[in-house]
């Protein structure tokens, strides 16, 4: 029996941070390396166009995100990596699926609703600043998924609604034409607690409390020093479960290292010492990937080559699906 197809998209928004790595990049790479699925990961560049209207910036975001995944261990021999905009059939499917998406479904999508809500709070027109790309974002996402008949889609919890919408769209289409489109299943990694940011809130670029994945050692040191701590004496025992520094540490250290630090906490540790330990673990884990990242960013042709190979593999499959659908709907 052939393997199930696992597909996910990454929206390019610049260099990922440690929270993105723990929450999305690492689980997706682990899933691909498990060999359980046939994996397709793509860069959702047209999705970024919804909000990024600066060509230089968009181009660099695309390379940054591709280089980051490759540097953190995505193996293009195990995962087909491609760029959404290289597969124009996704847009053909986007139109076809649009004609089976009732407008009310889009009105209920979280991202659009959040924009409307923000506008109403500021006493602006409810659709102020909303382009049709934002409004129909979930239809493009459904097309990304269905173009390759994906079975499972690893996503963050915030994206689950979009997968449900994709299922609704596929169901509407299938009700008319028979079982043509596969209903995808969203997978959210369990037990994956969110990595907090430097101030304890969710790590996010928009809160400016994040640690960029490829910060230099010096930058890492500065950022780690920003983690707020109390002024308790080093000799006083500390609770590791209530320490952001410990949380970070345990994500990146080995089990033995984590246990050693736990003991040190219970015995009494100075916050300066705890921060030094964190810096050392983070830096040794990231030093290798940081070099690979810099190397790829200096040689973007290497990234282009990988993405072209991905396109060459995906496009014939996409063309086949679109040809079949054209017959199904009667334009051919």
Phi, psi of 85 (to 5 degrees): -70, -10
Q: Could you tell me the CA-to-CA distances from 214 to 41, 48, 114, 248, 250 in Å, in that order?
A: 21, 22, 31, 16, 19
Q: Quick check: 143 binds ligand TRP (CB under 6 A)?
A: no
Q: Quick check: 94 binds ligand TRP (CB under 6 A)?
A: no
Binding residue (CB under 6 A) for ligand TRP from 155, 165, 195, 325: 155
Number of residues that bind ligand TRP (CB under 6 A): 11
Q: Could you tell me the CA-to-CA distances from 122 to 109, 129, 265 in Å, in that order?
A: 20, 13, 47
Coil, helix or strand for 212? Answer: strand
Report the chain's terminal Cα–Cα distance, integer Å. Answer: 32
Which lies closer to ligand TRP via its Cβ, residue 38 or residue 144?
A: 144
Q: Which stretch binds ligand TRP (CB under 6 A): 8-16, 62-70, 259-267, 269-277?
A: 8-16
Q: Quick check: 12 binds ligand TRP (CB under 6 A)?
A: no
H-run or E-run covering 261 = helix 255-267
Placement of tokens 């080093």 in the chain: 234
* Torsion sign, CA atoms 258, 264, 266, 268: negative
| Residue 148, token pair as written in the block | 């390759």
| Residue 160, token pair as written in the block | 């689950």
Which lies closer to ligand TRP via its Cβ, residue 155 or residue 244?
A: 155
Binding residue (CB under 6 A) for ligand TRP from 9, 12, 240, 310: 9
Shortest distance, position 183 Cβ to ligand TRP, whole Å = 14
Shortest distance, position 145 Cβ to ligand TRP, whole Å = 5
d(CA 93, CA 291) in angstroms, rounded, equals 39
Q: Which stretch binds ligand TRP (CB under 6 A): 89-97, 152-160, 256-264, 289-297?
A: 152-160
Q: Could you tell me the CA-to-CA distances from 161 to 64, 141, 166, 325 in Å, in that order?
A: 27, 11, 9, 25
Shortest distance, position 257 Cβ to ligand TRP, whole Å = 31
Shortest distance, position 129 Cβ to ligand TRP, whole Å = 18
Q: Quick check: 8 binds ligand TRP (CB under 6 A)?
A: yes
In angstroms, how far is CA 158 from the centroid of its own chain? 11
Strands, sheet with 79-83, edge to edge from the N-terminal-most edge strand = 79-83, 37-43, 4-10, 152-154, 185-187
Q: Quick check: 169 binds ligand TRP (CB under 6 A)?
A: no
Q: Quick check: 314 binds ligand TRP (CB under 6 A)?
A: no
Q: Quick check: 151 binds ligand TRP (CB under 6 A)?
A: no
Binding residue (CB under 6 A) for ligand TRP from 141, 245, 274, 286: 141
Q: Quick check: 22 binds ligand TRP (CB under 6 A)?
A: no
Residues near ligand TRP (CB under 6 A): 8-9, 11, 44, 47, 141, 144-145, 153, 155, 159
């Amino acid at each position: 029996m052939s393997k199930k197809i696992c597909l996910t998209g990454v929206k390019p928004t610049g260099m990922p941070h440690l929270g993105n790595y723990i929450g999305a990049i690492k689980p997706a790479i682990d899933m691909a390396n498990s060999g359980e699925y046939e994996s397709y990961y793509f860069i959702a560049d047209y999705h970024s166009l919804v909000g990024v209207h600066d060509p230089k910036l968009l181009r660099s975001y695309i390379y940054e995100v591709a280089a980051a995944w490759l540097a953190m261990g995505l193996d293009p021999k195990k995962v087909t990596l491609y760029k959404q905009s290289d597969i124009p059939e996704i847009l053909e499917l986007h139109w076809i699926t649009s004609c089976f998406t009732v407008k009310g479904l889009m009105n209920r999508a979280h991202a659009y609703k959040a924009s409307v809500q923000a506008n109403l709070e500021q006493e602006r027109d409810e659709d102020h600043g909303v382009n049709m790309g934002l409004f129909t974002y979930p239809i493009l996402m459904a097309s990304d998924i269905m173009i390759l008949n994906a079975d499972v889609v690893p996503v963050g919890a915030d994206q689950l609604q979009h997968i449900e919408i994709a299922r609704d769209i596929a169901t509407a289409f299938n009700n008319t034409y028979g079982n043509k489109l596969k209903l995808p299943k969203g997978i959210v990694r369990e037990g994956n607690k969110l990595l907090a940011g430097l101030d304890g809130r969710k790590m996010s670029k928009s809160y400016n409390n994040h640690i960029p994945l490829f910060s230099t050692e010096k930058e890492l040191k500065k950022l780690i020093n920003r983690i707020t701590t109390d002024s308790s004496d080093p000799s006083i025992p500390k609770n590791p479960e209530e320490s952001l520094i410990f949380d970070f540490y345990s994500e990146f250290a080995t089990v033995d290292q984590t246990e050693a630090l736990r003991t040190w906490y219970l015995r009494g540790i100075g916050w300066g010492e705890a921060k030094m330990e964190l810096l050392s673990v983070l830096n040794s884990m990231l030093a290798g990937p940081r070099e690979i990242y810099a190397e790829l960013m200096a040689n973007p042709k290497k990234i282009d080559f990988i993405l072209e190979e991905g396109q060459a593999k995906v496009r014939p499959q996409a063309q086949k699906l679109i040809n079949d659908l054209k017959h199904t709907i009667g334009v051919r």
